[in-house]
Structures are given as C-alpha cells and as structure tokens.
Structure 1
Amino acid sequence: MIKRFALLTFILLTPLCHAAVLSGEAYGPTREEARKNALATLAESLVVEIKSEFKSEQTSDGYTDASKRVHTTSDLPLLGTDFTVIDKKGEYYCTVLMNSDRALPLYRKELARLATDIEALNKRQKKQKKTASRYRTLTELLAAVEQFDKHNTVAVMLGGKAARSPVAAASVRSEILSIESVAPTLDIAADVLTRDLPATSYMVQAPLPAGSSQATAFSRIMRDKIAGRVRATEKKQPSSSYLKGSYEIGKSGITLAYRAVDYRGETVASRVVRLAPSAYRNIAYRPASVDFDQLLHEGYVRSNDFRAELNTNQGKDSLLFQPGQTIELFAKLNAPGYFYIVSHNTSTAQSYLLELNDAPGKRAFVRYVNADDANRWISLGEFEVSPPFGTENLQLVASSRDLAGKLPVTAYDDDTGLYIVQAATVKDAVIKTRGLKPKRKKGVKSAEATLSFTTMAK
C-alpha cells in the first residue's frame, strides 16, 4: 500500500526571496543552435543556485532512500524564458532570460497539473488487479513523481513555497520492487530496466553509485548491457534523449534505477530493479574514493557573476571511456579572465598541472580568455584513451586576475613527463590548490569548476 508522505527537501542554498533574473549567453552556427546553447548555459546558472538537494523518504514497509541528488543541466525543466538572437555575420549570439516573476506562476501551474496526474495514476494502480497492468502504471507514476520533484526544486529556488507530492518516489519504488522479483543475473536486470521504453535513440550513461561521480566495473558492464537492448548512439545531439542511471548499495543487494530523459529535460520513463548479491559477485561495484569525490565537487562556493565550466565532447555527467575512444576537453568562462587546470588521478594518487599552451615557464599552464572568447567553449585538445586507466578529476581555477603567480608548487617527473603538484595526498593537493585561488574582493573575481571521468579497459 502506498501511503501519502510528506517529502522533506533541504536546499543547501537560500532560495531567491525577491524577483530575480537569471541569464544565459551563447553562440551557435544557426539560430536554433544558439538558442539551445544559451538554454544550456542558463541551466548551468540555475544549477549554481540549486547546487544540490537532499531527500529522505521512507515507506510503510521500511524501504528508505536517503541520498544526495545532484541535478544536471539536461535534467532541469526551464519555463518562462525569453530569447534575443543576434545575427553576427556567419554565427548567431543568443541571450536567454528567466525572470522569477514570470516563471514562478508557470512552475506552480505545472506542479498542479503533475499533482493531478499523480493522484489519477495512484488511484488507477490501486484498482488494478492484474500485476502486469499495475506494474506499468506504477512505472508511469514514478516518472510523474520525479518530474514533480524537479519542477518543485526549481520553483523553490525561484522563491516559491515547497509543494508536496501526493505520493513519495520512494514509496512507488518500493511497490515496484515488491512486484518485480529480485534479479538473479545482470542480463535479467537489463531486461527489466529497458522493458517498454519509449521508442527512440538514446545516449546511454553509466550508472553511478549514490553520492559519487566515479564509475565502477559494475557501471561499465550495466551500461553496455543496457545499450545492447535499446537503439543506442554515442554521438551527442541537441535533441538527444538520455538513459541516466544510479545505484544504491544495500545489505540485501544493489538497487539500480534508470530514467529516460528527453532533450527538454523531462523524465519520460523510469525503471528500477533490485539485484541479488550473486548477480554481481566478483565485480567491483564500490567507488574507491568517496571522501575525495565530495571534497572536490562540493568543497567550493560558486557564483553567477563570474562562472567557469568544464565539459567534454560527450557531456559532463557519468563519463566512462574505454580504449579507442577520443576525449575532447572544453572550458568556458562567462567573462574575460585567466584559468589553469589541475588533474587529480585517484588511481595513481598523483596531482599534476595540465599544460594549456606552448608558452615558456609558468605561462604554459595559464590560459587567457579575452572578451571575444567569453561565453564560447574553448577546446583544450583531444586525446585517445590508453593505459594507465583510472579516474581523472579535473579542477579548473579561474580569476579575473592573472594566475601565473598563483600556481601550486610542482616538480617535473622524468618518467611521466608531468608537472606533479607537491602535496602529501590528492586530497591535500585539492585543498592547496583551492587555497591559492585569489580571494573575491572589489575588482577581483574568481571561480572554480570540476569534472570527473573514468577510463577503463574493455
């Protein structure tokens, strides 16, 4: 039985208490591309405001879901936006604005509609006698509740009051798991997760452990099995749909969830399955460095007046690469400034400065972004995945002030050809690098961005 449950949401940052305008700016070869790129920048701006959300949900049968959920730009529903597109001789420049006074009523209206849908689906599943029919309705209900939660999060950040979902997501997941038998093999789990998905092509992402951005061997195997059961594509397109996964490690097994997200950020389907421990015996499934992960990605404050971003040709979420694939790295500042990048490899326990140009001395590690290149993605080069494999964690430090005199102390390593940061551990290297960042004061702006990806043998 699904009971009504008050969803507890704790927002780490204070919601906007007054009318606010969030903006995004971007270039594109066509009007449509410029609009989509500007929307992605606006979504990133909103992520800065939201940062993260904590949920704790429990059902009558004791199933608990208490995990950190980080919203990604492709997940956020953006309502009430205004566009201005300018033709700049061969390319287009777009500015998109979201005014909270205009947008908030639209979110309230959508929340009311979703709440009505949730009530109707919940009533339907209670009346259904056939297990197969009830299961399908429950998966629809789960997708609707997840959509409600995402809209509610944005509405709260725009200054609205937190709305209460008629049904908690954890309760729905618990009901689904009570119907679906525990999967004895990974193949059966993949069958369950891809059953009756909308017929379209998907970029399939590796499922990540809750609270971590590090892919595991279990992540790779499940991603490949899921991709083999849908129309999968590796080429990212503005209209791409995604299959995004995550899993929680419990005493009785792993609970693995996948959701189908369309190009508008809407969750169109959601699936969940529990695997028996025997299904993943001898497969590495625990992330190796949770403490480091949290320090790197959560240990700094972001601001919208001076922003830095990191990305790859495959996006920035759930990144897992294998031999033969090519990774291209990109960086972007929203205003003129300087930046450098430290890579922290938790597998080799080394941190090193990335060489960003051919200049002599310290200038080789510092890149300057002029006014013409602000709000544009700048390629930092591409490389082919090869051994040694592991998890690379990039930490970009940016400032409106020249950073050549603010680099961490390094020593050149003859064996690797890298400039190794002098620190006791990779955690110490993150802290030292962050400590060198110029303090924000009048006339000086600073920012930070992080990105993690895992490389793994086939």
Structure 2
Amino acid sequence: MNQKNLKLMRSNIHIHLKKIMALLLLNCSAFIVFAQTPDWINYSSRQLKYSNAQYYTGYAENSYPKKENPHNFLEKQKEKAASNLSENVQIRVESLTTNLSQQKNNEVSSYFKNSIATYSNVDLVGLQYLTHIDKKEKKVYVLAYLEKQALNKYYQQKLQSEVTRLDNLIQKAESFFQASNTKQAKIEHSNALLQANKCNSVQALLYASNTGSSTTSHTEKLIQLNQRLNQLLIKIETGEKRSINDLAALLSEKIIKGIPNHAQLKISYPTYADTKFTSPFAKRFSQVLQQELSNKGISILENPDHNTLLLKGTYWEESENIRVSLAVSDVNGKLICADENIMNKQYLIDKQISYKAENFSDAYTRMQHFRKDEMLSGDMILELWTNKGDENLLFQEGERLKLFVRVNTPSYLRVIYYLADGSKVLLLDNYYIDQSKINKVVEIPDEFECAEPFGYETLQLSAQTKAFKSLQTQVQYGYQFITESTNAIMANTRGFKKVSSADKKAEVRLNMTTYR
C-alpha cells in the first residue's frame, strides 16, 4: 500500500470514528433526557411552577411491589393524587367559607352548610396529571393539578344559568302553595332544593378558588333564593308536633323516590351546622331513618363498595325549629337526590335529647383556630381513623377508643386530644414511624375509654420528618396535660418553613362527640 492510500484510509477511519462518537454522544444524551428525574418531583420546584395561589394540587409517590406492573400501580397512585387534591379543595372551602360567614354576620353559613359537606358533587373540570416511573428505584410519582382560573371561568358561566333555573323552580313551588296545592308545592320544593344544593356547592368552590378575597357576583342572589326556599318550607311544614320518627318517615319517602330501585345505602350521622360534630339526636334520627328505609326494601351497608350510595346530612337551628338537610351521592361525589325538613326543637328539649353540646361555643372557636392558616397536604400523605371510622364520630360513656394511623414517609408523630372542658392532653409525642412501617396500618399503642367531661372533642395528629419541639406539660391522673395555649401549640406544630424536599409535614384531625 502506497503512502497516499494509507493516508486516505487513515482519514476515512478518523471520519468514521467521529461519526460513531457523535452517535454515541447523541444516544447518551437521549438516554439522559429520558432517564432524568422531572423537576416537579422536588417540592420547591413544584411550588414554584404550581403555586397554591394559582393551582389546586395533589401529589403521590410510592414504591411498587416487584411482581406488580408499574403502569397498573401508577393508575392507583393517580387516584391517590386526585383524592389528595380533592382534600386540599375541601380544606380551602371549609376555611374560606367560614371567613365568608363571619364577614356576612353568619348569614351565609346557614345556606352553605350543606355545600361545605357535599362540595365534591362539583366536577373538578380540567384536572390533569404528570407521571413518572423510576424503574431503577421501583417508584412511581404522580402530580394531579387543576388551574383555578380555568375552573373559575367555567363555573362562573355555568352558575349564571343554574341560578336562573333555581329562581324559576322556586317561583313554581311558590305558585302551587299560593294556589293551596300543598302536595305539588312540596314536590316542586324538593326539585328546587336539589338545584339549590348544586348551586351552593359551585358557589362555595368558586369562593375558595377566588382566594376568598370577595364574593362572586351570584352570592347575594343565591342568599336571597335560599331564604325564599327556607321560608317556603316553613310555610309548608310547620313541624310543631313532629317527632323524630315523623321527621325520619317524611325524609325517607323523598329519598326512596330519588334513588334507583334496589339501591344500597351507607348512612352517616348528620353533623351540626358547618362543624363535623354529631350528637345523640343525630344518632337516634339515623337509627330511625335506617329502619324506615330498611322496611321499604333499601339495603343498608356498613362497608360500602363502588356501587353503594352515601347518605350524609347536616342540621341546624332556625328560631324554634331544627332543620335537617340530607343528600345522597355516589362514591364519586355525584349528587343523586337531596331533601330537607324541619321539626320543633321543643320536642327534643322535652325528651331531653341533646342536639348540641354545652361546650359548642368553645369547640367552634377551637375549630376556627385550626382552620386559620391550615396546612394543605403536600408530599406527605397522613391518615388517622378510629375503631368507629373517621367521620361523624359518637362515643358513649364506657366505650373504647382505638386509634390507627398510616403515613407514606418515615416521620415523627404527635397526637393531641382536646377535651370538652378545654383541657389538652398529649397522648403521643415523637412516636417514630420508620421505613418498615410506611404505608402500613399502625395502631397507636394505648387504648382509651370514654369518660367525663362530655361534649365536642378533637383529636389532632401531626407528622413531620423532623422531631417536634417540646411542649410544656404537667402530669395529672397519669396523663400529660399541655399548659400552653392552642395558638402556641399551632405555632409549635406549624412553625418551621419547608426549606427542602426532605422537610415534610402534615396534619389531620378527627372531631367527635362524647356523651353519657
């Protein structure tokens, strides 16, 4: 081979090597982009791009079992992220609707109570997901997000026509009543009530999404329509001689007409006003209602499945009456039917049936303290429940209370029990959940017996990845009673700011009623 050909061959080899190196670099670059962890997995980056001011968000991350298909597991985590987002909306609605009620001298509260309890009837239009599967670490990540501005725009337009329809339905019911056709007036009133619940739910969500800075243009109109609807019910149903049995019988008839044949129901105790507290009256009413529905062929289930309908309700005082409002929805929150009626509260007083605990004022003030600057759930998913579940809790003297928790991150737990007499007991402090216990049900070691004082009480579970600062306590009757104020406790628990994705915290509460 001559020198010229050798030089040419070397040149060609050099060119080919450059091409090969370029291809290798390109492939490596593509691999790096594909394998790169998305920035939204980091808490700080996620907050910058999807801030609470502009978005509702829900986040979930979890390790998947070796034998499970990661894509199937991802779908389950999407449900968790959506549930987490929905919970954040609930917190926002409760907190800001309470503020709205205070601004309007509690007038609004009477009309949005049921909306707060059933706001999830509203479809969260525009819900989107970001997902990531890390096959090396065998973990999946999901971010569910919803832009508030887009949600507001959609429902502002929708609410205008819905409010007009509500006005027409109320006028129709009023016309029948004025014509002395009470039977048809009741039917049209029920139709108007169902429409009012839909409007009020949307209104509550709009107010929360609007950061609570002002009421929407339809708020005053809705208040007026709700007032007319309530006044019409009082005219139709005096409630003067009505017992709990009578009230349950009337409401059961409307429920049966509004739900599908052969439906299965899970009944929860109604709660008082815009709290989550229940009562002996609520328990007795629910028992009678359950019997009425069972006698008419409705199956009542304790543990609902995906086909079960959920019956929830609220009740509150209106002058000399007690108004009970019930709503039936499916497991996804879609409203199926709703109705309400009244009874004279003197009946309950004469029968010595408690419908509101003596410590209501103090408990309500405490609830407002909790709602102020309430933490929205983020990276850490925290759950708390009792041996009676996690909602509409009612414990009678002598009954046992067991607590169960689950958290998705190694963390320290603190449980504080706010008693009916205002005392605060530190039940558990810096109880550590290690890696082996995450996403598993953990039973709190101690068991508790319901005893005096009786009334509205609250269990607060806090979790964070850093150990809690000490609280000032003194031991009485074998328990650690906290001597600091509720505000000081909140500052201690919610005090540090999140500075990195490693610093996580969450908070959850259970409200319960205890009685003799």
TM-score (norm 2): 0.67
Aligned to 2:198: 147
| CA apart distance, 1:291 | 3.3
Assess if the C-alpha contact under 8 Å between 1:131 and 1:179 holds in 2.
yes
Alpha-carbon deviations, 1:258-278, whole Å to 9, x = none? 222332334433322221244
After superposing the two structures, state which structure 1 stretch, 46-55 or 80-89, moved more: 80-89
Paired residues in the alignment total: 415
Secondary structure of 2:303's match?
A: coil
Distance 2:324 2:446 in 1: 32
| CA apart distance, 1:18 | 6.4
Distance 1:446 1:209 in 2: 30
Aligned to 2:120: 75
Distance 1:217 1:434 in 2: 31
Aligned to 2:510: 451
| CA apart distance, 1:150 | 1.4
Structure 2 counterpart of 1:354, which letter? L
Assess if the C-alpha contact under 8 Å between 1:74 and 1:263 holds in 2.
no
Residue 184 in structure 1 maps to residue 242 in structure 2: yes
| CA apart distance, 1:190 | 0.8
Aligned to 1:401: 466
1:385/1:399 Cα in 2 relative to 1: closer, same or farther (>3 Å)? closer
Assess if the C-alpha contact under 8 Å between 2:57 and 2:143 holds in 1.
no
| CA apart distance, 1:340 | 0.6
Assess if the C-alpha contact under 8 Å between 1:30 and 1:91 holds in 2.
no
Secondary structure of 1:46's match?
A: helix
Distance 1:325 1:202 in 2: 27
Aligned to 2:384: 311
Structure 2 counterpart of 1:454, which letter? T
Structure 2 counterpart of 1:43, which letter? S
Aligned to 2:216: 162
Gaps of 5+ in 2: 1-50, 65-71, 294-298
Structure 2 counterpart of 1:302, which letter? E
Alpha-carbon deviations, 1:383-425, whole Å to 9, x = none? 988543745421223444311x424424263xxxx432143xx
Aligned to 1:11: none
1:439/1:94 Cα in 2 relative to 1: closer, same or farther (>3 Å)? closer
Distance 2:494 2:167 in 1: 52
Structure 2 counterpart of 1:162, which letter? T
Assess if the C-alpha contact under 8 Å between 1:80 and 1:106 holds in 2.
no
Assess if the C-alpha contact under 8 Å between 1:204 and 1:242 holds in 2.
yes
Secondary structure of 2:467's match?
A: coil
Secondary structure of 1:402's match?
A: coil
Distance 2:61 2:194 in 1: 31
Assess if the C-alpha contact under 8 Å between 1:399 and 1:446 holds in 2.
yes
Secondary structure of 1:354's match?
A: strand
The structure having more radius of gyration, on CA atoms, is 2
Distance 1:321 1:446 in 2: 29
Secondary structure of 1:258's match?
A: strand
| CA apart distance, 1:429 | 5.6
Aligned to 1:223: 286
Distance 1:327 1:219 in 2: 22
Assess if the C-alpha contact under 8 Å between 2:385 and 2:404 holds in 1.
yes
Secondary structure of 1:214's match?
A: coil
Alpha-carbon deviations, 1:134-186, whole Å to 9, x = none? 21221121121121121122223334971415662232122122112315211
Distance 2:446 2:121 in 1: 30
Distance 1:409 1:326 in 2: 23
Structure having the higher strand fraction is: 1
Aligned to 1:329: 404
1:264/1:31 Cα in 2 relative to 1: closer, same or farther (>3 Å)? same
Residue 345 in structure 1 maps to residue 388 in structure 2: no
Structure having the higher helix fraction is: 2
TM-score (norm 1): 0.74
Distance 1:410 1:56 in 2: 38
1:385/1:429 Cα in 2 relative to 1: closer, same or farther (>3 Å)? same
Alpha-carbon deviations, 1:259-314, whole Å to 9, x = none? 22332334433322221244212212222222332343221422335767553266
CA RMSD of aligned residues (A): 4.0
